[in-house]
Amino acid sequence: MGERLDDAPLVAEPASAGGRAKGPSRPSRAINRYFHGRRKLGVATLLGLPLSWMLVVYIGSLALLVVSALYRLHPRTQKPTHDLTTDNLLAAFKFWDSDVWDGVVFPFLRTAGVALLVTAICAAIALPVAFFVAKIAWKWSRRGLIVAMLLPLWAGYLVKGYAWRAMVSPAGGRFAAAGKGGGGFLESTIHWTPGFGRVAIVLAEVYLWLPYMIMPIYAGLDRLPPSLLDAAGDLGARPFRTFRSVILPMLKPSVAAGAIFTFSLTLGDYIVPKIVNNGTERFMFGSSIDAVLGAPNQPLAAAFTLWPLVIIILFLLSMKRAGAFESL
């Protein structure tokens, strides 16, 4: 960057001496010259604004969240006041209290479990699919297949949620196809449906976030030198052995990178789970937070959100150890 700024006046000089300056105008050249050699100042000017934006918006809002968890609700108006209290934190983190355990900790752990399950299923599907596209499919078909893998991202989030509701709707449900014996798409075609509920939630979440697992794995496979696969076969490894002992360990960072997406996206999602869930059960932790927020008890909701925050930080750290950030 600095070198380029330096070049501009040098190139422009002879032209301007001839009286027909077509290069940068004089003030901008003065600015260029001022920044030349002042590298730190240049970097600060360039990145200062976006960095401070990041700081205020991301870190600042997170800090605000933690602070607002300490606010006490006004006993009469039910509005947050600036009196500080630890009641909210206790209500969210006193896991040795059975009420807190049943109402907060267990639902949260269940949500984290769903996120892990969705991540594992996504990885199990994405590995063979990405391998097929990257290494087996004909070269001319590759681009089309990549587009096909990303296609779900082009539909709206809610649309996909209601599409899944229509898919799994059981016989006699609201989405029952007229004149076909009732039931959603699955019921009317293969006469089986998981119905609304937990299985449908996991299915819908896997469908929603699968592209985010496929892409890093595909990129990782694309970077994998084909000669390594030849070498494993040459040394006597059958295809499955090659997959287990060469491909999988080398894809670990890519899988970890994809897991960051699928895990955090599932952990925070509660709208689609609500759409495909049975009745009004608050299955995902996000629903609980939403309910508390609507109570309205903003400080308690803020305290609840610290659970996913802590877990995400722990998850990111463990994925960092797996090398996820080198392959992003």
Partner 1 sequence: MTPDAPTTPAIQLVGLRKSFGAGEHEVVAVDSVDLTIDNGEFFSLLGPSGSGKTTVLRMIAGFETPTAGAILLEGQDVTRKPPYERDVNTVFQDYALFPHLTVHQNVEYGLKVKRVPKGERRQRAGEALEAVRLSALGHRKPSQLSGGQRQRVALARALVNRPKVLLLDEPLGALDLKLREEMQVELKAIQREVGITFVFVTHDQGEALSMSNRIAVFNHGRIEQVGTPHQIYDHPETSFVAGFVGTSNVLSAELSFQLMGVAKVHSVRPERLRIVREVASDSEVTVSGLVTDLQYLGADSRIRVAIPDGSHLLANVPSDGLVGVAIGEPLRVAWSRYAAFVVADTNTEGGEE
By CB under 8 A, residue 238 contacts partner 1: yes
**Contact residues for 146 (Cβ-Cβ < 8 A; gap 6+):** 133, 218
Q: Of the ranges 76-84, 128-136, 231-239, 260-268, which one interacts with partner 1 (CB under 8 A)?
A: 231-239
By CB under 8 A, residue 7 contacts partner 1: no
Of 245, 281, 318, 325, the one binding partner 1 (CB under 8 A) is 245
By CB under 8 A, residue 74 contacts partner 1: no
Measured between alpha carbons, how far is 247 from 315 in angstroms, rounded to an integer? Answer: 24
By CB under 8 A, residue 38 contacts partner 1: no
By CB under 8 A, residue 99 contacts partner 1: no
Of 61, 77, 227, 280, the one binding partner 1 (CB under 8 A) is 227
- Per the CB < 8 A criterion, the answer to whether 225 and 135 are in contact is no
Q: Of the ranges 106-114, 143-151, 210-218, 244-252, which one interacts with partner 1 (CB under 8 A)?
A: 244-252
Measured between alpha carbons, how far is 325 from 328 in angstroms, rounded to an integer? Answer: 5
Whole-Å CA distances, 93 to 64, 239, 303, 306: 19, 49, 8, 9
- Nearest CB to partner 1, comparing residues 137 and 306: 137
User: Each residue of 253-284: b (16+ CB within 10 Å) or e?
Assistant: bbbbbbbbbbbbbbbbbbebbbbbbeeeebbb
Q: How far is the CB of 229 from partner 1 (least distance, A)?
A: 9
- Nearest CB to partner 1, comparing residues 170 and 220: 220
Measured between alpha carbons, how far is 87 from 65 in angstroms, rounded to an integer? Answer: 15
Q: How far is the CB of 131 from partner 1 (least distance, A)?
A: 17
- Nearest CB to partner 1, comparing residues 99 and 234: 234
Residue 25 CB: number of other CB atoms within 10 A? 10
Q: Give how many residues touch partner 1 by CB under 8 A.
A: 17
For residue 77, which amino acid is it? T
By CB under 8 A, residue 246 contacts partner 1: yes
By CB under 8 A, residue 208 contacts partner 1: no
Secondary structure of the chain: what % helix, strand, coil (to 5)?
Answer: 75, 0, 25
Strand partners of residue 84: 71
| Among the listed residues 95, 96, 70, 94, the one whose alpha carbon sits nearest the alpha carbon of residue 83 | 70
Of 50, 136, 178, 234, the one binding partner 1 (CB under 8 A) is 234
Q: How far is the CB of 324 from partner 1 (least distance, A)?
A: 15
By CB under 8 A, residue 232 contacts partner 1: yes
Integer Rg of the chain from CA: 27
- Nearest CB to partner 1, comparing residues 3 and 234: 234
Measured between alpha carbons, how far is 39 from 192 in angstroms, rounded to an integer? Answer: 66
By CB under 8 A, residue 225 contacts partner 1: yes
Alpha carbon distance, N-terminus to C-terminus of the chain:
24
Of 36, 233, 291, 322, the one binding partner 1 (CB under 8 A) is 233
Of 219, 250, 265, 312, the one binding partner 1 (CB under 8 A) is 250
Q: Using CB under 8 A, list all residues that contact partner 1.
A: 225, 227-228, 230-238, 241, 245-246, 249-250
